[in-house]
Structure 1
Amino acid sequence: MDIEDLATRIEAGERRALARAITLVESGRADHRADATALLERLKDRPAQALRIGLSGTPGVGKSTFIEAFGLMLTGQGLRVAVLAVDPSSARSGGSILGDKTRMEHLSRDPNAFIRPSPAQSQLGGVARRTREAIDLCEAAGFHVVLVETVGVGQSETMVAEMADLFLLLLAPGGGDELQGVKRGIMEIADILLVNKADGDLRATATRTCADYAGALRLLRKRAQDPQGFPKAMTVSAVEHAGLDKAWSEMQALADWRREAGHFAARRADQARFWFEAEVREGLLARLKREPVRGAMATLGRQVAEGAITPTAAAEELLIQYLQLGLADRAPDDPQSPSPKA
């Protein structure tokens, strides 16, 4: 693959080149990973910085409808918007529907928008493993706003906060009270809570829900990266396009304040360090799937099942023999490779 040509086309804003690059970084093949690393290194010095916005919420809260309405509003202002939608994968077959473009019919046809659905696969935290790298590629392609829509499953879905500048949490009318609002986890990392579907018969319920969560936010511990009044709760209607412009103004105000206060750059630096450590952990886990460690794990696993050794002792044995001694990459027939104890 001609990495230089691909990088040049991405910098020129070619959507097809961007789609191909995201496919490349999502691949697990060793040669593709080498090309992806080279491509990201080639693009890392671009000065432009898109506003990265993470968006989460329970299934059915209207995430896709909100993103389409919000994205169309932004493209109408002359901004280029990229949407990275993470779709849940089947625990049985491993497949994903990847139907987000179908739900965002109008936005998907907008020339200033780019929508890329990706399967979550076995990755926890609501995002795909390579979503962070896909964000970097969209930023290199000149997009002004990158929206990351998470799987949307529950309170532990916090990984998106480690790759976004702002984190929005979409809530349904009547979906909680003050007690729900003070629960730790996804609530305490949100920058703005948006109570969606504030229209029709649900308008009054949405207003009450917003007031409940606004009261709960005042009980949370103050964060250094927040100006006065943040985090805050607001009502929006994706169907009627109500409150979207006000929500966008609040996002811009928060991002501008963090830039001026130095939190914006510091947060991105912390995120880069976080993902470096995550890649190290993933690399170590990948070693467990290669020989000779894979065979040693199978042998020790049988011994654990037979009751010959405890799980804790077996794990310690494996770590000492292979990972701590740096022997995980030796060939299976290496005479110096130790065998697990019988």
Structure 2
Amino acid sequence: MTDVNDLALRLVEGDRRALARAITLVESRRADHRVQAAELLDRVGRTGRQALRIGLSGTPGVGKSTFIESFGMMLVGQGLRVAVLAVDPSSARTGGSILGDKTRMERLTRERAAFIRPSPSQTHLGGVARRTREAVALCEAAGFDVVLIETVGVGQSETMVAQMCDLFVLLLAPAGGDELQGVKRGIMEMADLILVNKADGDLKPAAMRTVSDYTGALRLLRRRPQDPADFPKAIPVSALAEEGLARAWDEMRTLADWRRQNGHWAACRADQARHWFEAEVRDGLLARLTEDPGIRAAMRAMGEAVADGRMAPAAAADRMLARLRGLGVAEDAAGDRTGDGAGDESLDAPRVCP
């Protein structure tokens, strides 16, 4: 049994082991652990500490881990404490993950001012793990100045990280596509800063052309009112040669300071908190549905009907939703079920779950 009060105290004092245990707790799916995790998050959330949350996305092989290590070492050299939350893709077949990001950041791993935590995505969509947001909050409570969130690198649909960070950085490779890619919706219009990596050696000319292409493409996107006139922008960097990192950091701080001074920082965090509250409610409702044995049996029966071709998927889904509205899976004030669960197709019962 975890002593939540002791864990919270050690976490706030900056204990790295306590932070690791706390993240393990919030990532657990056990019902008792979820209760403890909620209590822990409530306790440490009262500290009011805030870090600069930077989401980093990009296709596999673009050099995200190399960039994070070089960038993190630069920040540590400036006296900052840096936390890295690296989301590793999970196998759709086995559910397993390699979780080997720390092995690719050997220098940063040895720094006492840095904390690196790989987490499995567990097939969660959007490029982040299900509990990454809570892990970010724990790192803030532990006193870290910058939290870097490395996504799995799934491509243009990887926008969920933008809902949990203050700055969203997109890392691209030289000559990775024509300038039309720059005006595609999705991940591109979410980016606050585009970094073209590997701008060194023989690839430097190609990297500079890519920067030019995306600079032109970004002018075609609608400018966000909460940002200065020259954002978003594209700049070249080389994580391997450690070139352009200082400029990238200056650009990030400039944008973050602008948003703080103009009130957009607090408004964005409030919107994010509301978004995750609604997401938790939706997830909780889905969990309640799957826990009901009658509903599980009905789902299996409907699934078999669809598989056998006796019902179309859309028609089966409509019937299942109508049944859920009729059954009422929530408990009433007296603690009794509003429906008996299995096989009742009556729609006359009061609608409990909209």
TM-score by length of 2: 0.92
Q: Which residue in 2 is equivalent to 1:233?
A: 234
Cα deviation digits, residues 68-94 of structure 1 (max 9, x gap)? 000000000000000000001111111
Aligned-residue sequence identity (percent) comes to: 68
1:339 counterpart residue number: 343
Q: Distance in 2 between matches of 1:326 and 1:22?
A: 35
Unaligned runs of 5+ residues in structure 1 are: none
Shift of 1:285: 2.2
Structure 2 counterpart of 1:30 = 31
Q: Which position in structure 1 is the counterpart of 2:285?
A: 284
Equivalent pair of 1:125/1:159 in contact (CA under 8 Å)? yes
1:1-342 equivalent positions in 2, closer than 5 A: 1-290=2-291, 291-323=293-325, 325-327=327-329, 336-337=340-341, 339-341=343-345
1:326 Cα shift?
Answer: 2.7
| Amino acid of the structure 2 residue aligned with 1:150 | T
Q: CA deviation at 1:306?
A: 3.9
Secondary structure of 2:290 counterpart: coil
Displacement after TM superposition at 1:299 (Å): 1.6
**Match of 1:315, as an amino acid?**
A
Return the alpha-carbon distance in structure 2 between the equivalents of residues 174 and 158 of structure 1: 22
How far apart are residue 240 of structure 1 and its match? Answer: 1.1
Q: Is the 8 A contact 1:98 1:118 kept in 2?
A: yes
Aligned partner of 1:298: which letter? R
Alpha-carbon shift at residue 213 of structure 1 (Å): 0.4
The farther-off stretch of 319-328 and 69-78 is 319-328
CA distance in structure 1 between the aligned counterparts of 2:276 and 2:135, rounded to whole angstroms: 13
Deviations 1:121-163 (A, max 9, x none): 1200000000000000000000000000000021000000000
CA distance in 2, matches of 1:340, 1:120: 37
3-state SS of 1:257 partner = helix
Which ranges in structure 2 are unaligned for 5 or more consecutive residues? 347-354
Distance of 2:339 and 2:231 partners within structure 1? 62
Contact 2:170–2:191 under 8 Å retained in 1? yes
**Structure 1 residue 340, shift from structure 2 partner:** 4.4
Deviations 1:239-281 (Å, cap 9, x if unpaired)? Answer: 1111101110110010000001111000000001111111122
Assess if the C-alpha contact under 8 Å between 1:304 and 1:314 holds in 2: yes
Q: In the alignment, residue 236 of structure 1 is paired with which amino acid? A: V
Q: Report the count of equivalent residues.
A: 342
**CA displacement at 1:339 relative to structure 2:** 1.7
* Aligned-partner Cα distance in 2 for 1:288–1:300: 15
Deviates most, 305-314 or 282-291: 305-314
Deviation at 1:236, TM superposition (A): 0.5
In angstroms, what is the RMSD of aligned CA positions?
A: 2.0
Matches of 1:329 and 1:322, distance apart in 2: 13
Tell me which amino acid in the other structure corresponds to 2:322: I
- Alignment CA distance shift 1:332-1:292 (3 Å): farther
Give yes or no for contact 2:83–2:115 (8 Å, CA) kept in 1.
Answer: yes
